[in-house]
């Protein structure tokens, strides 16, 4: 879908017209516009957030990376578009280049406004600007709707970028998909995709962590171990986060009558949820994610901190099943005081024949390394490896797994990042 508009434009090129550098620059400028608009529209399509859609792309993490990559590519290509056209016109004169950049037409106003709006809502997504505040990032992303409409207005205001009738078919079709995806995401998903629950209980496995038990008030959520949901609390007693949705991994087994969600104090909303009132209504939307295969196999789990959540849900599910599993779990924490759910995991490991739990304490043993991994999982080259935790752990664990002989194609990770 991304290549189709560019290929249609390339197929109509006559080599004879590319006889000068300005002609080549002009062509590149037009192709940059076509490619940039394709990226922008498809990034919007991928933001639809329908449960199960992410699994077509290998899970939510990969879908999010693709979505962000398309957004970044759209911004770069659409910024290059007017500059390349201006360089092409510069052969005539500097005035011609400036006139190309700022012709004063409705199309140019729409195009420049779209670029400015894109820079405003996409800039916080780049690591250069640091970690953005979650709710501000979400609100800024709503500007994507305006950028889409402005970019489409610019495209349909200028001469046809693709040969007829493809100009109308391609841009019209992608525009319908993008607008439909964004409309569902911002309006209908809240009404069609959310289920009502109530806080049944609040457990406190650590000073800065709670595990909420949620009972359904109607149809219960259908999910698989290790998936996550967006949780929206409606507790007026909360000091922050009322009616705000945030993503959290499910720690319960699908066999349980309640949903369980572990929440660590990592910001204003999660800090407030440490004191949520039992009985308070909440809504959940999901499930999302495709971390584990449906049937357990020969697996190595590497968890860090609150990244133990998907593994806890999977372990609880395996403890109540009659199937076979071959699990080596390495749980990385700073010290013993931060080992969430350690006792329960040890009990589960004792109850399953081929389930072993190994603790790794950073303060006592330093960063995890290839020797540690090879010593506690001698057959890791034959195992599928699953990693979840802070970004430094994901990077280090993957690097050390490869150094220890793991198969790169069998390493999977789940990121706790902007979703």
Rounded average pLDDT per 10-residue block, the chain, 419 residues: 89 80 92 95 91 87 89 94 95 93 92 93 69 74 88 86 87 92 84 92 92 96 94 95 92 95 90 95 93 89 94 93 85 91 94 93 92 93 93 92 93 71
DSSP letter at 255? Answer: T
From residue 418, alpha-carbon distances to 127, 129, 247, 303 in Å are: 12, 14, 9, 19
For helices 106-122 and 143-157, what crossing angle results, to 10°?
Answer: 150
pLDDT attached to residue 129: 61
pLDDT at 382: 92
CB 236 within 8 A of CB 328: no
Judge if the upstream peptide bond of residue 165 is cis by omega within 30 degrees of 0: yes
CA angle 272/259/141 to nearest 5° reads 55
Distance CA 193, CA 185 (A): 10
Specify the pLDDT at position 58: 83
Domain spans in the chain, listed from the N-terminal domain onward: 3-191, 194-288, 298-415
* pLDDT recorded at residue 126: 67
Q: Residue 211 forms beta bridges with which residues?
A: 203, 262
Query: Measured between alpha carbons, how far is residue 76 from residues 24, 98, 146, 211 in Å?
Result: 19, 20, 18, 43
The pLDDT value recorded for residue 300 is 96
Report pTM. Answer: 0.85
Question: Hey, which residues does 229 pair with through a beta bridge?
Answer: 248
The whole-number pLDDT of residue 418 equals: 47
Task: Supply the CATH classification number for the domain 298-415.
Answer: 3.40.50.80
What pLDDT is recorded for position 128? 57
108 burial type by CB count under 10 A (0-12 exposed, 13-18 middle, 19+ buried): middle
- Rg of the chain over Cα atoms, rounded to whole angstroms, equals 25
Element (H, E) at 400: helix 391-403
Identify whether the C-beta of residue 232 lies closer than 8 Å to the C-beta of residue 283. Answer: yes
Q: Which tokens sit at 7? A: 């290929």
Q: Assess contact for 202 and 276: CB atoms under 8 A.
A: yes
Please give the pLDDT value at position 127.
61
Please state which of the four CATH numbers 1.10.287, 1.20.120, 1.10.10, 3.30.70 is assigned to the domain occupying 3-191: 1.20.120
CATH architecture of the domain with range 194-288: Beta Barrel (2.40)
Residues 6+ apart with CB under 8 A from 379: 298
Cα 383 from Cα 326, distance rounded (Å):
9
Q: What is the pLDDT of residue 13?
A: 83
| Secondary structure letter of residue 358 according to DSSP | E
């Amino acid at each position: 879908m991304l290549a189709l508009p560019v290929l249609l434009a390339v197929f109509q090129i006559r080599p004879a017209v590319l006889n000068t550098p300005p002609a080549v620059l002009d062509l590149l400028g037009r192709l940059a516009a076509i490619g940039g608009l394709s990226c922008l529209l498809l990034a919007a399509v991928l933001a639809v957030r329908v449960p199960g859609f992410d699994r077509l792309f290998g899970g939510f993490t990969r879908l999010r990376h693709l979505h962000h990559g398309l957004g970044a590519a759209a911004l770069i290509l659409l910024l290059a578009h007017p500059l390349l056209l201006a360089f092409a016109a510069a052969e005539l004169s500097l005035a011609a280049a400036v006139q190309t950049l700022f012709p004063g037409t409705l199309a140019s106003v729409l195009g420049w406004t779209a670029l400015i709006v894109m820079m405003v809502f996409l800039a916080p997504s780049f690591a250069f600007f640091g970690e953005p505040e979650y709710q501000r990032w979400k609100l800024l992303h709503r500007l994507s709707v305006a950028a889409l409409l402005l970019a489409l207005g610019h495209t349909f205001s200028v001469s046809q970028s693709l040969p007829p009738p493809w100009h109308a078919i391609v841009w019209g079709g992608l525009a319908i998909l993008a607008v439909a995806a964004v409309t569902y995401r911002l309006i209908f998903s809240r009404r069609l995709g959310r289920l009502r629950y109530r806080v049944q209980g609040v457990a406190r496995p650590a000073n800065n962590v709670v595990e909420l038990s949620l009972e359904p008030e109607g149809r219960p959520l259908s999910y698989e171990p290790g998936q996550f949901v967006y949780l929206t609390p409606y507790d007026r007693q909360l000091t922050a986060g009322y009616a705000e949705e945030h993503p959290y991994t499910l720690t319960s087994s699908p066999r349980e009558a309640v949903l369980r969600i572990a929440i660590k104090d990592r910001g204003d909303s999660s800090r407030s949820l440490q004191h949520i009132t039992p009985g308070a209504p909440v809504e959940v939307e999901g499930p999302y994610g495709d971390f584990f295969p449906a049937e357990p196999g020969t697996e190595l789990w590497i968890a860090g901190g609150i990244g133990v959540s998907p593994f806890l849900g999977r372990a609880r599910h395996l403890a109540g099943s009659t199937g076979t599993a071959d699990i080596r779990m390495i749980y990385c924490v700073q010290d013993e005081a931060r080992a969430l759910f350690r006792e329960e995991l040890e009990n589960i490991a004792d109850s399953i024949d081929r389930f072993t739990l190994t603790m790794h304490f950073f303060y006592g043993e330093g960063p995890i390394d290839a020797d540690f991994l090879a010593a506690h999982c001698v057959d890791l080259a034959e195992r599928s490896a699953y990693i979840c935790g802070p970004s430094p752990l994901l990077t280090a664990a993957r690097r050390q797994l490869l150094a220890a002989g793991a198969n790169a194609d069998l390493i999977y990770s789940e990121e706790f990042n902007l979703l």
